[in-house]
Structure 1
């Protein structure tokens, strides 16, 4: 369960140095934030020299503060002609500033001509202040900033990455002892790559001893300004400290991947891999992208609130915010996919539901940019029509055209994408160091080191998975002509949903489990209209009934793929045969213990949340392939692991040694 995030309060000493009232300490030396960042953290970690000729260089910082260390590092990366291809910066901050406060602080502090435009980009990209991880991208995604908002003691064990350098920059050990404690340093050691370095302004004896106990060999160096000495170090453990090594990039023979399925999941993968320099062959049984559930006239997107802030809520919130960032980048690049503005309104199921979630919003301090509780009167004014009761407005929620989004994602990939449309992937086969995908005539469609299954319910068949249960859900939509429908100002959800289109009101969808019928049904239209009337009491039932009786209702049937726990399958696939052979030793296994099917990944079973999960799922898989920091906490990623059902079966003794 996430805790309430308390933003930082801007304050200054008489000389203008930014100051934290909560910790009674300054954010940087009075001698200058940029100079301190360059001396202590860049030179202390031998940067930029150490990142040269590297594909990826990852830095972990404890204490983001005002962000000057990140800005200085980003500026140094830009100015270095021999820079690494990709720079990943991960920073933890318990009390982040609000975007407006950060912008004002930068205006006072960042007068340097090189840093000022970077500071403006950072403020423009600054995320909604919610707990957890936020992935920001700059320089065409070549520079990533992963902000971890919350307590370091809770968040550090949930990060999954391989760090090349550490910036230890919390408030002083005397003012913020938790951030300089042995548990923090041990958590950093679990993330340290070979010969990872660290730098910090403090030389406190207990800090040096705790770092040594965690495996860091530290020495004193010349300090900055009035501080005579500082501490630099290198990860050099004298004994094994960890059970699992930090992640490495997948050893691909060539940067070529096959993606099966051109819905939202597959097209998001195409764009995320292409942004990293991969070539992608996209295999789709239909003639174009977005023909299955992604071909619906519109889809809605919004966070998921729950009283206990469940795993599903946390994953959906992260996915929602990341998707918004990716869509804005696409729109800046000139792509359009009919994304609505003005928010999305959720109608509470009943008065108890409204009270409970209203209390949860207040208790967790969710900012109004994410969600706003609304009375019935406020909801009616927002919707522009009578509504059943109050609920919540998601200011950044809304609707868009999923097929147009699929096209935008593929177009953004440009020449990195090769299309194989109108082809059914029938089977896969391992050939030397690559995988081959064959069609129904047993002709090879494509061959690559990586195959990613984004083909919904057919993924488990094609991948040969026995322990990845999915089911199909038939969903019929109804288009109610505008003369018969209330004129809504924004999309509405609740028991069903209503999306205003130019020519109709889109409503639905039915939820028919294990129903493979693709026929339009009058009873399904009637079911959709009944739910719509429950949301919009101003709907004239006689008019709706007449339209139904006259057969004037258009609609569409599509099929969703769901898992028993209603979470998607995202990540590396397990080697089920190898796991069966080792069943006796894997009965108490954790996800990282399982053997994996080298080069096989999945991104499917998104149910009705493809819009908010597809981008995050693609970023997670791309990060796994590249050995980059994961874009969400490890426990959340493990909840999405396609091997989670195999893991449960092993723990329950259902998988026996020798099972084929």
Structure 2
């Protein structure tokens, strides 16, 4: 769905919604009212003080100005639980613009540090899930832009307390719906609490119908009554759609092994290490990021579809997550640059697609806009031959430097070994290495790109390699200093350490790692088509070009493979009826997975935008936390999808 910012009138420093003809907060006693209605009634302080070893998950309907989050996060910091995290989930259909949010947050200077953390990561008005990390990742905010019931229907979490906020049922009846109440019940557990400022009968009856014990109590100030309560049982029958994608139960482990030291493995290691898990990262080469993650520079941007697709949602979510992450971990831009990316329309077909994309207004102008060749030439500081899209928040990253950053953590140990075989016994995975040594841990994640299917447990994964060669050369001291990343049939980034990196070839058949002059000429030809002056500077020394060859690891549907490893034979037996009827309802069918075995591979050339968010997804799965991506997106990258597709097509 298209997201529009809230239309706000400001009345004496208080925001008023034009859509709902209602105020966001009490202008005189906003903090006191929120404290009483949500934190005190849900006994949040007591919940924080007694929890030391697990996460606290609070969900809200109506993020608004973020006041409830500020109060909750501030209270959390006062308690400072050492080995747990605050996970705060909220939804907003009409989010405030950044400028309106900043103006609202200025009303509460006591929360200045938290407010600045929100503003630095506050997303563009784009539908979907947006993850913020605050206070060294001790606090996480998952902010969903979209309809409340629909957004929560895509969430995987178990909530401790609900803040039913938002505009009053009389002003916004669509939100206070049976669909929302059903999702609340699905996401609650026994003793999950809720509170809300309203005492409307539709809310009271709706919550009781789905299993909440509901009662009235004194409202704040002059408000006579409000509703509070506790979840008892889910009265709706449990319906599992696509049981083959049900995730196995998990409990946060003490230690994990990861095979593969590229972007996938290193980002996953860091995501787990930040959760207090000890990680052994196993890499067969003598340094990290020697495969597809080892190029000097990679373009950081997402190629957007005209109409939203699951793949497009993954790529855009991953792009926005990676940009926020990089701004947080490397504000000086020492190994990346937010210099913008141009996606040129080098054919009439592509130009028509780009015009259509802009006309649909699916994406905010702050994210992407269509520019003429003249406008792009001014931005790039050199002649650009084509019109195209410009992504101002995109840029380039050094993948190897990013990998080095990821593993620089006391909970991560890097081991140089080549793994030959996997076996599981007595609750532990045992890895036999080429040197004859054995490594062991309760949990194992396979992240070694195209080699991920070398093991018997994962040999069914349909991975393929795509050879690519980049060209590298010294940047001449000319006036044609490139200021942004340019993508056409290939790509080139602004010079790093006085060197240009450009390319890359796309060879589906090539298996050799050698550097060829033919590929250099191909890269130069692509460069000359889009940037004639830069090409003229570099082509004269084509025989002196250096280069690097690597293999992208891809999949048949060009989506990564992220999630628990299925037991192929058991899947075939359990879901065999799909061969005859793809709509068959499997009552009480359970998907069987290898215990504590996960896969993270197949990122192709999109690793900079898909690896960090996939790492966060896997770490959340393994540690039993709310998942940072919508369920349909998670299903689309589930390792079991290929088995199910083959059953439906009767090819297995």
Same fold (TM over 0.5): yes
- Residue aligning to 1:251: 251
Preserved contact between residue 251 and residue 623 of structure 2 (Cα < 8 Å): no
Q: CA deviation at 1:247?
A: 7.4
Preserved contact between residue 387 and residue 536 of structure 1 (Cα < 8 Å): yes
Aligned partner of 2:47 among 43, 50, 72: 50
1:24-173 alignment, distance < 5 Å: 24-51=21-48, 52-53=50-51, 54-80=53-79, 85-107=84-106, 109-111=107-109, 113=110, 115-173=111-169
Q: CA deviation at 1:106?
A: 1.4
- Residue aligning to 1:436: 430
Q: CA deviation at 1:614?
A: 1.1
Cα RMSD, aligned residues only? 2.5
Instruction: Please identify, of 336-345 and 521-530, the stretch whose mean Cα deviation from structure 2 is larger.
Output: 336-345
User: What is the aligned residue count?
Assistant: 639
Q: CA-to-partner distance for each residue in 1:416-464, whole Å, 9 max, x for gaps?
A: 111112x1111111021111111124430x2111111110001112363
- Residue aligning to 1:565: 557
Preserved contact between residue 479 and residue 554 of structure 1 (Cα < 8 Å): yes
Preserved contact between residue 282 and residue 419 of structure 1 (Cα < 8 Å): yes
Preserved contact between residue 217 and residue 234 of structure 1 (Cα < 8 Å): yes
Could you say if the C-alpha distance between residues 166 and 635 of structure 1 is closer, same or farther in structure 2, counting changes exceeding 3 Å?
Answer: same
Q: CA-to-partner distance for each residue in 1:347-371, whole Å, 9 max, x for gaps?
A: 1133443343234235336334322
Q: CA deviation at 1:187?
A: 1.6
Could you say if the C-alpha distance between residues 436 and 238 of structure 1 is closer, same or farther in structure 2, counting changes exceeding 3 Å?
Answer: closer
Q: Which runs of 4+ in 1 moved over 4 A?
A: 81-84, 244-249, 483-486, 539-543, 585-593
Find the residue that maps to 1:273 and give its secondary structure.
Answer: helix
- Residue aligning to 1:233: 229
Report whether the alignment pairs 1:605 with 2:602: yes
Q: CA deviation at 1:128?
A: 2.4
Preserved contact between residue 133 and residue 631 of structure 1 (Cα < 8 Å): yes
Determine the C-alpha separation between the residues in 2 that align with 1:580 and 1:651.
11
Find the residue that maps to 2:31 and give its secondary structure.
Answer: helix
Could you say if the C-alpha distance between residues 592 and 294 of structure 1 is closer, same or farther in structure 2, counting changes exceeding 3 Å?
Answer: farther
Find the residue that maps to 1:18 and give its secondary structure.
Answer: strand
Could you say if the C-alpha distance between residues 470 and 30 of structure 1 is closer, same or farther in structure 2, counting changes exceeding 3 Å?
Answer: same
- In structure 2, list runs of 5 or more residues that go unmatched: none
Could you say if the C-alpha distance between residues 496 and 432 of structure 1 is closer, same or farther in structure 2, counting changes exceeding 3 Å?
Answer: same
Report whether the alignment pairs 1:552 with 2:544: yes
Could you say if the C-alpha distance between residues 638 and 543 of structure 1 is closer, same or farther in structure 2, counting changes exceeding 3 Å?
Answer: closer
Report whether the alignment pairs 1:530 with 2:541: no
Aligned partner of 1:510 among 500, 505, 516: 505
Q: CA-to-partner distance for each residue in 1:72-107, whole Å, 9 max, x for gaps?
A: 111111122568711101100011112221111111
Report whether the alignment pairs 1:417 with 2:407: no
Preserved contact between residue 337 and residue 404 of structure 1 (Cα < 8 Å): no
- Residue aligning to 1:658: none
Preserved contact between residue 263 and residue 291 of structure 1 (Cα < 8 Å): yes
- Residue aligning to 2:649: 652
- Residue aligning to 2:307: 308
- Residue aligning to 1:469: 462
Aligned partner of 1:179 among 175, 182, 187: 175
Q: CA deviation at 1:480?
A: 4.4
Q: CA-to-partner distance for each residue in 1:7-42, whole Å, 9 max, x for gaps?
A: 01332346x543111101111234422112211111
- Residue aligning to 2:387: 390
Preserved contact between residue 496 and residue 528 of structure 1 (Cα < 8 Å): yes
Q: CA deviation at 1:505?
A: 2.8
Determine the C-alpha separation between the residues in 2 that align with 1:167 and 1:331.
34
- In structure 1, list runs of 5 or more residues that go unmatched: 656-660
Could you say if the C-alpha distance between residues 84 and 508 of structure 1 is closer, same or farther in structure 2, counting changes exceeding 3 Å?
Answer: closer
Determine the C-alpha separation between the residues in 1 that align with 2:569 and 2:54.
34
Q: CA deviation at 1:611?
A: 0.9
Determine the C-alpha separation between the residues in 1 that align with 2:9 and 2:247.
40
- Residue aligning to 2:189: 193
Q: CA-to-partner distance for each residue in 1:267-299, whole Å, 9 max, x for gaps?
A: 111111111000000000011111112221211
Preserved contact between residue 568 and residue 605 of structure 1 (Cα < 8 Å): yes
Determine the C-alpha separation between the residues in 1 that align with 2:419 and 2:556.
25
- Residue aligning to 2:294: 295
Determine the C-alpha separation between the residues in 1 that align with 2:227 and 2:375.
56
Determine the C-alpha separation between the residues in 2 that align with 1:522 and 1:82.
59
Determine the C-alpha separation between the residues in 2 that align with 1:495 and 1:592.
47
Q: CA-to-partner distance for each residue in 1:174-221, whole Å, 9 max, x for gaps?
A: 111111010111122111123211111111112111111122121111
- Residue aligning to 1:578: 570
Q: CA-to-partner distance for each residue in 1:223-249, whole Å, 9 max, x for gaps?
A: 111111110121112645323599786
Determine the C-alpha separation between the residues in 2 that align with 1:526 and 1:368.
37
- Residue aligning to 2:2: 4
Q: CA deviation at 1:70?
A: 0.6
- TM-score by length of structure 2 reads 0.93
Report whether the alignment pairs 1:493 with 2:487: yes
Could you say if the C-alpha distance between residues 586 and 13 of structure 1 is closer, same or farther in structure 2, counting changes exceeding 3 Å?
Answer: same
